[in-house]
């Protein structure tokens, strides 16, 4: 098929590269000329394991192309994916201006029957807005088209594998023709098992929000349990084992930590709550999930203040991990931002290390914070630090040289925001060790 993907962020670029890998003639469109020029050289604007290799291979095989000319991408396409950003607006709702701008362009340049796919995470009812926007641009042109919803369920850090080997492909369409085209497009990715789930458009739009809200709820529930455990003297790590062994609960997303972040959970929980209120329902659970997560990001700074006092002006803290999760350079809504801002507001100096996200921190998220310094080795961050704070559980932090750590740190104090280690072992080897949800 001829595929056009508008938007080369996490979702759009992964989609385009993977469709091209399966032999589809794919054009990725973006307004950013610098980004497009880099992509034509095989350079990805984002870090995602395996992405650059497939990108370069598909581009060299001429199944993948990049352009800033949306007309070029739209006019020959059988299927057009809208994969632009839907940032959170001032009121918490999803901002659809970029989606609808693309819809206008599609209406202007579409030449024949096309399936238009909402791949961006959008509120229920967006497909109708996109359809109306395209119709308004078609004017007297007699061109048929369908708008379908195809939410993405990619995990950053594992997005290529998730796309090539999906556990489900959800598509919402209002007629059989569009549904059959989408099934045909995805069939090469489902040779072992047909994971295609067809439904109506609004249900598909809702499925994405419901999935992310459910996962965020599990995280916030466990973090709330961690706060209760700490106060009553229980150990959240043991509680996790006890409840995770129940097959109805399971172990996924019940690890306590210093709060979730990223481009999806914070934005989608708020957007879904906003939609609920728009239709006259008060989403008590969703609003509690968000509130708990916001509070959880302050737990580590509070533990640091309890240990060292409110005035941290003579203290230096090493930070391991800046991205919101491992295997990505994404820092959107990352816990590290809140934790570092809390500590530096009390006068602390931060020496930070992350395998991939340092550029993001320096150029955007923490660029104006003069009390944050960056190093390119995890042990270098420890030199003379009063304590270590682990925020992101990158694999290279899982088996560190504890003897070397003790030599480099001013004091053997370790605040673990991901509960990676056994507290008794850490005490035995000489660390003053603080965890989430443990007194």
Point out the residues that are catalytic: 264
Q: Which of 155, 284, 133, 294 is nearest to 227 (CA)?
A: 294
Q: 339, exposed or middle or buried, with CB in 10 Å at 0-12, 13-18, 19+?
A: buried
CB-based contact 336:392 (threshold 8 Å)? yes
CB-based contact 1:78 (threshold 8 Å)? yes
Please state, in angstroms and rounded to a whole number, the distance separating the CA atoms of residues 18 and 189.
Answer: 9
Residue 60 CB neighbours (<10 A) = 10
Q: Kindly write down the DSSP assignment for every residue of 291-310, as one continuous string.
A: HHHHHHTTHHHHHHHHHH-S
Residue 86 CB neighbours (<10 A) = 23
Please state, in angstroms and rounded to a whole number, the distance separating the CA atoms of residues 219 and 41.
Answer: 40
CB-based contact 419:437 (threshold 8 Å)? yes
- Helices 33-40 and 51-60 pack at an angle, to 10 degrees, of 80
CB-based contact 115:178 (threshold 8 Å)? yes
Please state, in angstroms and rounded to a whole number, the distance separating the CA atoms of residues 25 and 1.
Answer: 6
CB-based contact 400:378 (threshold 8 Å)? yes
Q: Which of 103, 98, 100 is nearest to 74 (CA)?
A: 103
CB-based contact 70:29 (threshold 8 Å)? yes
Please state, in angstroms and rounded to a whole number, the distance separating the CA atoms of residues 199 and 136.
Answer: 26
CB-based contact 178:148 (threshold 8 Å)? yes
Please state, in angstroms and rounded to a whole number, the distance separating the CA atoms of residues 193 and 291.
Answer: 39
Residue 306 CB neighbours (<10 A) = 10
The secondary element (H helix, E strand) that includes residue 198 is strand 196-199
Q: For residue 282, what are the CA distances in angstroms to 266, 303, 343?
A: 18, 34, 35
Please state, in angstroms and rounded to a whole number, the distance separating the CA atoms of residues 281 and 153.
Answer: 26
Residue 254: both structure tokens together: 């019940």
């Amino acid at each position: 098929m001829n595929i056009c993907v508008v938007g080369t962020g996490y979702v759009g670029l992964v989609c385009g590269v993977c469709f091209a890998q399966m032999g589809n003639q794919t054009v990725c469109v973006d307004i950013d000329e610098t980004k497009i020029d880099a992509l034509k050289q095989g350079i990805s604007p984002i870090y995602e394991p395996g992405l650059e290799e497939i990108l370069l291979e598909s581009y060299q095989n001429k199944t993948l192309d990049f352009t800033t000319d949306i007309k070029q991408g739209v006019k020959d396409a059988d299927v057009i994916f809208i994969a632009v950003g839907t940032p959170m607006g001032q009121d918490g709702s999803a901002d659809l201006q970029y989606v609808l701008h693309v819809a206008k362009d599609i209406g202007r340049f579409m030449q024949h029957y096309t399936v238009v796919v909402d791949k961006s995470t959008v509120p229920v009812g967006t497909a109708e807005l996109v359809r109306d926007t395209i119709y308004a641009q078609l004017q007297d042109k007699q061109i048929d088209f369908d708008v379908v919803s195809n939410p993405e369920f990619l995990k950053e850090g594992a997005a290529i594998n998730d796309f090539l080997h999906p556990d489900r492909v959800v598509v919402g369409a209002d007629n059989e023709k569009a549904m059959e085209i989408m099934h045909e497009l995805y069939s090469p990715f489902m040779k072992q098992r047909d994971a295609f789930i067809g439904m109506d458009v609004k249900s598909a739009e809702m499925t994405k929000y419901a999935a992310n809200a459910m996962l965020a709820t599990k995280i916030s529930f466990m973090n709330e349990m961690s706060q209760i455990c700490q106060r009553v003297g229980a150990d959240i790590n043991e509680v996790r084992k006890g409840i995770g062994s129940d097959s109805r609960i399971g172990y996924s997303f019940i690890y306590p930590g210093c709060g979730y972040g990223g481009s999806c959970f914070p934005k989608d929980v708020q957007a879904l709550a906003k939609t609920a209120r728009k239709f006259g329902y008060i989403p008590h659970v969703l609003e509690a999930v968000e509130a708990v997560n916001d509070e959880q990001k302050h737990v580590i700074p509070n533990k640091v203040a309890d240990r060292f006092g409110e005035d941290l002006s003579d203290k230096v803290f090493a930070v391991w991990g800046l991205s919101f999760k491992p295997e990505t350079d994404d820092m959107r809504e990352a816990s590290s931002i809140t934790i570092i801002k809390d500590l530096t507001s009390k006068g602390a100096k931060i020496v930070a290390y992350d395998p991939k996200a340092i550029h993001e921190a320096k150029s955007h998220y923490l660029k104006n914070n003069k009390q944050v310094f960056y190093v390119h080795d995890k042990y270098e961050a420890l030199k003379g630090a009063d304590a270590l704070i682990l925020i992101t559980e990158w694999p290279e932090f899982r088996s560190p040289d504890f003897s070397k750590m003790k030599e480099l740190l001013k004091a053997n104090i370790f605040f673990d925001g991901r509960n990676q280690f056994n507290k008794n072992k850490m005490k035995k080897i000489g660390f003053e060790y603080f965890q989430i949800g443990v007194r």
